[in-house]
Amino acid sequence: MKKIYPLLLDSITPESTASNGFLKDNSLDDLIETYMGNLLGDNVFSFFQGNLPVTVQIKEQKTPITVSPDDETALPRYGCWGKERMLYILSADKDSSIWIGFSKTLSATDIYERCQEGTILQAMNEIAPEEGETFYIRPGVPFCIGSGVRYVDLSQNSPVELNIEDLDQLVEALDFIHLDSCNPEYVAPESCLFRMERVAITKPQTIAPDQTESFMAIVNLDNSTSLRTKDIRGLSDNSEENFINLTGNAIALIPHDISELIISPSQEGENPASSFLRIYMCNVPEPPKEEDEDKDEHDHHCGCDAHHHHSHHDDCDCGHNHYN
């Protein structure tokens, strides 16, 4: 089997396809099945049972008021992970807003009545987002993104997102919505399973993904950023497997198996610096030993391809409901 290499993608989801090198047009789901821990990292691959643990997408769309459960609620109820997420603001119109959490403590009845009346947004923290800001959204905290905002959405790979403006979905979410007032969070807690860091460079840097817990994702921000590896023997330094030049907000997935990656800034124009987001996993627990596993109680995936999209209230063969 040929060695895995940095993959150029337009997003990181199971359905995303590589657009460079000999693995071009292969889906990320298929690549994980083939390369397993060499792509994700052995511990990440084992703990998440071969599933992509997080997704990275660039979005520019207005959202309903959305909330997702944590793992403790989602695993027994839906047979899949909960969802914590981070947003990185790429750009925002001057009159744009996002809303995160409630500005005052509400009861379940208050929320239901406000959703019925269409006044729930007025009870949430309204924020005027600015380019370069990050927001951490805990499971159970509702959020809404207005028009005119372009952002990077980093989140656990889970299909469970409930629109609380839909009263049926609101009722389902009432037992895990955070009813207390909360301040918007700009930094992920130490316990978060992932990190998203903005990095600015003016000269080449060498990193070693195989010295971390997981794969790494690079999202280009300013100017262009080149990625070069010499791990792929027998190929020229400028082959699609050994060299990627990221422009715009291009995304690269760096497999865990890469032992040396050279990241270089743009060498053009008056400002040769480059900046990018570096995303990786952390705090991933050791997978349970086989003899200690109770498959019925601790299986982290229902086997029904829940990471693929299901419409609201569509039942799959396993009997679970999954939601977009």
Q: What pLDDT digit, counting tens, does each position of 205-231 carry? A: 999 887 888 999 999 998 999 999 875
What are the b/e assignments for 68-86, b being 16+ CB within 10 Å? bbbbebbbebbbbbbbbbb
Contact predicate 302/318, CB 8 Å: yes
Q: Does pLDDT of 32 surpass 50?
A: yes
Task: For domain 54-191, give the fold.
Answer: Jelly Rolls (2.60.120)
* 320 or 131, greater pLDDT: 131
Q: Is 23 helix (H, G, I), strand (E, B) or coil?
A: helix
Yes or no: domain 7-50+194-281 corresponds to CATH 1.10.287.610: no
125-152 average pLDDT score: 98
DSSP code of residue 185: B
Closest of 7, 169, 140, 160 to residue 81, by C-alpha: 160
Percent residues over pLDDT 90 in the chain: 75
Delimiting residues of CATH 2.60.120.10 domain(s) in the chain: 7-50+194-281, 54-191
Q: How many CB atoms sit inside 10 A of residue 175's CB?
A: 11
Whole-number percent of the chain with pLDDT over 70: 85
Does the structure show a pLDDT above 50 at 298?
no
Beta carbons within 10 angstroms of residue 100's beta carbon: 23
Tokens for 18, please give them: 């590589």
Query: How would DSSP label each residue in 75-139?
Result: HHHHSS----EEEEEEEE-TT--EEEEESS---HHHHHHHHHHT-GGGGEEEE---TT-EEEE-T
pLDDT digits (tens, 9 = 90+) for 235-265: 556 688 889 999 999 999 999 999 889 999 9
Q: What pLDDT does residue 208 have?
A: 86
Alpha-carbon span 308 to 161, nearest angstrom: 13
Per-residue tokens: 70: 């944590």
Distance CA 210, CA 254 (A): 10
Give the chain's mean pLDDT.
Answer: 88
What's residue 302's pLDDT? 47
